[in-house]
Structure 1
Amino acid sequence: MRSGELLRRAVRRHRGRMVAGVLFMSLHQASEAAVPVAIGIFVDRAVSSGDIQPLLWCVLMMVVLFAVLSNAWKIGARQVVRAIEYETHLLRLEIAQRVLDPRGQRTGLRAGELLSIATSDAEKAAVVMRAVAIGFATSTALIVSSVSLLVVDVPLGLGVLIGVPLLVLGIQALSPLLTRRTSSQQEAVAQTTALATDLVGGLRTLRGIGAQHNAAERYRRSSQATLRATLRAASTNGLQDGVTTALSGLLLAAVAGVAGWFALNGRITIGELITVVGLAQFVAEPVGGLGWASQIYAMAKASAARLAGVLSAEPLVVSGTRTALDPTKPLLELNGVSYKTLSATDLTLKTGESVGVLCYDPRDADALLAVVTGRAPDLTGTVRIGGTAIDELDIDVVRGTVLLEQHDTDLFEGTLRSNLLVDSPSLDRVMTAAGAADLIDELDRPLADQGQALSGGQRQRLGLARALLAEPPVLVLHDPGTAVDAVTEELLAEGLADVRAGLTTLVLTSSPALLGKMDRVVVVADGVIVAEGLHAELAAADAAYQEAVLR
């Protein structure tokens, strides 16, 4: 999808409101153009004749004209604004859906940049409908004005008909520059937003290592770059406004001068002179409106390009279509898998088996997590779930079968209970098993974003409880006890073994308490499985293993 296609789609899917909005706004502009015509008729037919009856008719005509004018604008603008708001909402939903797609996306954008696109760019792209409505309405005003001028005097009308298109073309010459500078500005804003998001998320860490001043300096430089990009875009906007005002003023002066000369020579009446001067003055408004519509379109196109980049990004993982699993096959099986630091890895998890994995290198753990959860697009070898290759399975089946709970838990605003997602009869038992018994009486406690009022251990245990409540066929845990003390970690290990009895569990950890509860432990060194057995056996026979787990 390209920017133009996205903008055209925005107009198409709100065509009902857009048609109504364009018609009423065009009626408003036609009525505006009719005002100087009506005043000219007023002067020639009522004022100059001194007859009361034409005067009353002219007054009535003006009342009706202004009633139509004001109501047409109100109705038309309301329809266009509704279309803009609905489209903004739909675009934000699309971006959110794309970002949350379990297949991932190859945009390479950070969370803050995606947030900026979902908020600012979605809103700016949707205003293309305002540009369309203004473009049609102002074109209507120019057509009515030109026809009226042709009726009064053909040379005057032709002058406007030739001058206005030349004027519009001159204004449009600045649009590509405005689009480029607006795009650069929005990209700079997104990068600064991303940096701010990263800094806020890692503020505690920055303070802990004393790097907050360096981070602030980095943000200052990014903010200044954004300011410079914004000023460049604003200067181009100002240049276009100035050119539009100057050229429309020159056009007005030329038309008014010629019309005055014609009136002195008796070629046109006083009423027609008023009409011509009024129309020439009015023409500056729709011409300015076309310039403004051009600016809006340039801004919308720049934002639409960023939106289209996210919406059309290739997924990281290609989803299959198969949904059936073979219950007689192992739930999870890796055959000769190589990915990043992993090399020719074979690993099988049978139904009901709990397996611990100790990786001496954290990069091996990250690679293995990506493989077993279907987020490794360029691996070699085969990963099977229930006997079916993972790339042949529908992504929803993969997610419903294998659940990964990282040690850094994401929590959301609401309550502890709402973050658990499931309110089952076994809630107390699962909370106790996750070492979160101290939170059972606080489930309805309000929770700020990311659970800032909770300790790291509480957040981690709450995330583990949420994963256990989901009861996935295969639960993958990554260091579930890094933020708890040794006593709590022992309780957590016992609770995990109890709750997951009969279910398949894969735990990547170096915790002796957790590894001691596993049916078997697999040791990975330099991307290769180098040992396998019970925790006690490995701890007794392998010095490297002892050094890694015994604390």
Structure 2
Amino acid sequence: MDTQMQASHGSALLWRTLRRHRGSMTVAVVLCGLHQLFEALVPVAIGAIVANAIAPGDRTALVAWLAALALLFIALTYSWRLGARLVVAAMEGEGHSLRVEVTDTLLRPRGVRTDMRAGELLSVATSDADRTTWILDLVARAVASAVAVIATAVILFVIDVPLGLGVLVGTAGLFAALHFAAPVIAHRTAEQQARIGTASGVATDLVTGLRPLRGIGGEAAAGERFRAVSADALTATLSAAKVRSLFAGVSTTSSALLAVAIAGWAGWLALSGRIGLAEVITVVGLAQFLIEPLTTLARVPAVVAASRGSADRVARVLDSAPLLDPGRDDVTHRDQGPVLELADLRYRTLDGLDLAVARGEFVGIVAYRPEDADAVFALLSSQVPAGDYTGSFTVGSVLARDLPIELARTLILAEPHDTFLFAGTLGSNITAGRGPAASIDLERALEASAARDVVDLHPAGLDHPVGDDGTTLSGGQRQRIALARALVADPPVLVLHDPTTAVDSVTELNIAEGLLELRHGTDPRTTIVLTSSPALLAAADRVIVIDDGRVIAAETHHRLAETDAVYQTVVVR
């Protein structure tokens, strides 16, 4: 997606944000505008007190004017409180809505075609969603500041026409000059957010893969990689901060100089006898008051640029195309032929793969090259768009590309090697994928997956808390809990990818026996295991061997172990 399109989508998202809250924001803008109008009237009231009460020494008038001033402060205080409350409520509500929209997009069954890492997507769903809502606060502040400038100019017009014109012309010139910095700020801010997102993605990968990295001694290399990415993010952040700081300094200084010029002009008018003491007090008070709204208006381009930069990234996710095809609504699963069949299939490293699995069969797949196993698993888990592979892939004699994704995932459950557990309890994780038609008893699934030992290890049993991604459990415990979850779901076809790499050989044998008993008894289901585990392969009805993207053998484990030297090297332990 090019930058221009991203900017267009980001701008559209900002307009949509304003439209969704137009009711509450209209009231908020009016209240904030009244607050600034009342603020502008304070110097006028003070000048009136001097002219009508202090100068003539009228105590009654002084009490009355002080009471009026108190009421003015009450009005400006409550108008600001109520207006600010509405703005904050709109920002928090919109931030929540954007986070839900991003999450809903990422979780849709057909997936999302995006090149962002998990950490980048997390950054979009959090910090970028919040930054996008800045536009609501900016509109309220900008309109209120414009009201303040106009009110000040009108008051100064009454005192001296050239003085009022000077405020309007000076404000317009300041705003126009600073507006040219907006594109630079937008570019630097967008680059900053993108590099921070990349760093977050690398950090997420590093943390989730920390245990394997320690196993292979890769902490130093991973640390160097993150250090380099983080340094890029720091450079982008400092570059953006430099521009924003320069902009803030120039805008604040310019606003202050304009206010000083107004006060100096008023002093010259007083010395020349054109205005009195009360008017001088009013003008000086207005000049001091004017600094804040002028500064706010001067910073509008910078805030808009930052908000639009984040809106671009949010829109990029929301506008992402689905990864998978929708399938055909008129297609239903038909129990004919093999439950799964791949014919002359080419995808990634697969080169004309032919593979068929019968209903109720327990099949082991040994891929001599890990990339072949990854490609087969990706296909069987419905993660590959139809346009990304050639050949035929059928599920129960129906082309996989024609199956609606919801139906495909009720037929086939694929449990990846890199298991993921959610924050919650052991029980909530195990039953997370249980469908209404599942007939597998929880206790039987625990026994078959050897997860009963994991549950009994903790006094709370199934209520034992689990941290994000199961970090409170060992690798072997996570694998067994994930396997129990897959078994409880009771899918017609279960695909497992190296489900026992972190468990000992005895536990591995128990799991192989448990799979046979649970899924291949009186009502057999189909089970496909991509593995090099001799225990699992020995339990399979047959073993399919893949090398260089093609099937090179299909026999029982015992036959292959006796006759195939390469197979012996890969599998026999």
Change (3 A) 1:132 1:393: farther
1:426 aligns with 2:445: no
Instruction: Give the partner amino acid of 2:551.
Output: I
Q: 1:539 aligns with which of 544, 557, 561?
A: 561
CA contact (8 A) 1:416 1:445 kept: yes
Q: Which stretch has the larger CA shift, 58-67 or 201-210?
A: 201-210
Tell me, in whole angstroms, the C-alpha distance in 2 between the residues paired with 1:362 and 1:219: 26
Change (3 A) 1:258 1:115: same
State the 1:425 CA deviation: 7.6
Tell me, in whole angstroms, the C-alpha distance in 1 between the residues paired with 2:124 and 2:117: 11
> What corresponds to 1:253 in structure 2?
260
Tell me, in whole angstroms, the C-alpha distance in 1 between the residues paired with 2:209 and 2:150: 59
Instruction: Give the partner amino acid of 1:319.
Output: P
Tell me, in whole angstroms, the C-alpha distance in 2 between the residues paired with 1:192 and 1:347: 41
2:539 is paired with a residue whose SS is: coil
Instruction: After superposition, give the CA deviation of every residue in 1:118-156 in whole Å (9 maximum; x if it has no partner).
Output: 222222222221112111111111121122222222221
Tell me, in whole angstroms, the C-alpha distance in 1 between the residues paired with 2:60 and 2:308: 54
> What corresponds to 2:532 in structure 1?
510
Instruction: After superposition, give the CA deviation of every residue in 1:452-489 in whole Å (9 maximum; x if it has no partner).
Output: 34222221111100000011121111112222222222
1:524 aligns with 2:539: no
1:299 aligns with 2:306: yes
> What corresponds to 2:157 in structure 1?
150
1:212 aligns with 2:214: no
State the 1:390 CA deviation: 2.4
Tell me, in whole angstroms, the C-alpha distance in 1 between the residues paired with 2:570 and 2:278: 97
Change (3 A) 1:296 1:268: same
> What corresponds to 1:411 in structure 2?
421
Tell me, in whole angstroms, the C-alpha distance in 2 between the residues paired with 1:136 and 1:390: 56
Instruction: Give the partner amino acid of 1:353.
Output: E
Tell me, in whole angstroms, the C-alpha distance in 2 between the residues paired with 1:426 and 1:16: 53
> What corresponds to 2:365 in structure 1?
357
Instruction: After superposition, give the CA deviation of every residue in 1:167-223 in whole Å (9 maximum; x if it has no partner).
Output: 111222222222222222222322222232222223333334444334334433433
1:286 aligns with 2:266: no
State the 1:399 CA deviation: 1.9
Q: 2:235 aligns with which of 228, 242, 265?
A: 228
Tell me, in whole angstroms, the C-alpha distance in 2 between the residues paired with 1:330 and 1:46: 100
1:516 is paired with a residue whose SS is: helix
Tell me, in whole angstroms, the C-alpha distance in 2 between the residues paired with 1:546 and 1:213: 35
State the 1:52 CA deviation: 4.2
Q: Which stretch has the larger CA shift, 249-258 or 326-335?
A: 326-335
1:523 is paired with a residue whose SS is: strand
State the 1:325 CA deviation: 1.6
CA-atom RMSD in angstroms: 2.3
> What corresponds to 1:470 in structure 2?
489
CA contact (8 A) 1:46 1:54 kept: yes
Could you state the TM-score of these two structures normalised by the residue count of structure 1? Answer: 0.93
State the 1:404 CA deviation: 0.8
Aligned length, in residue pairs: 551
Percent identity for Structure 1 against Structure 2: 48
Tell me, in whole angstroms, the C-alpha distance in 2 between the residues paired with 1:225 and 1:542: 51
| Structure 1: gaps spanning 5 or more residues | none
> What corresponds to 2:473 in structure 1?
454
CA contact (8 A) 1:428 1:440 kept: no
> What corresponds to 1:29 in structure 2?
36
Tell me, in whole angstroms, the C-alpha distance in 1 between the residues paired with 2:378 and 2:214: 31
1:74 is paired with a residue whose SS is: helix
> What corresponds to 1:198 in structure 2?
205
CA contact (8 A) 1:252 1:284 kept: yes
| Structure 2: gaps spanning 5 or more residues | 1-5
State the 1:260 CA deviation: 2.6
> What corresponds to 2:384 in structure 1?
376
Change (3 A) 1:389 1:225: same
> What corresponds to 2:169 in structure 1?
162
Q: 1:347 aligns with which of 355, 373, 384?
A: 355
Tell me, in whole angstroms, the C-alpha distance in 1 between the residues paired with 2:83 and 2:337: 63
CA contact (8 A) 1:372 1:383 kept: no
Tell me, in whole angstroms, the C-alpha distance in 1 between the residues paired with 2:122 and 2:76: 41
State the 1:225 CA deviation: 3.3
> What corresponds to 1:324 in structure 2?
332
Q: 1:4 aligns with which of 11, 24, 29?
A: 11
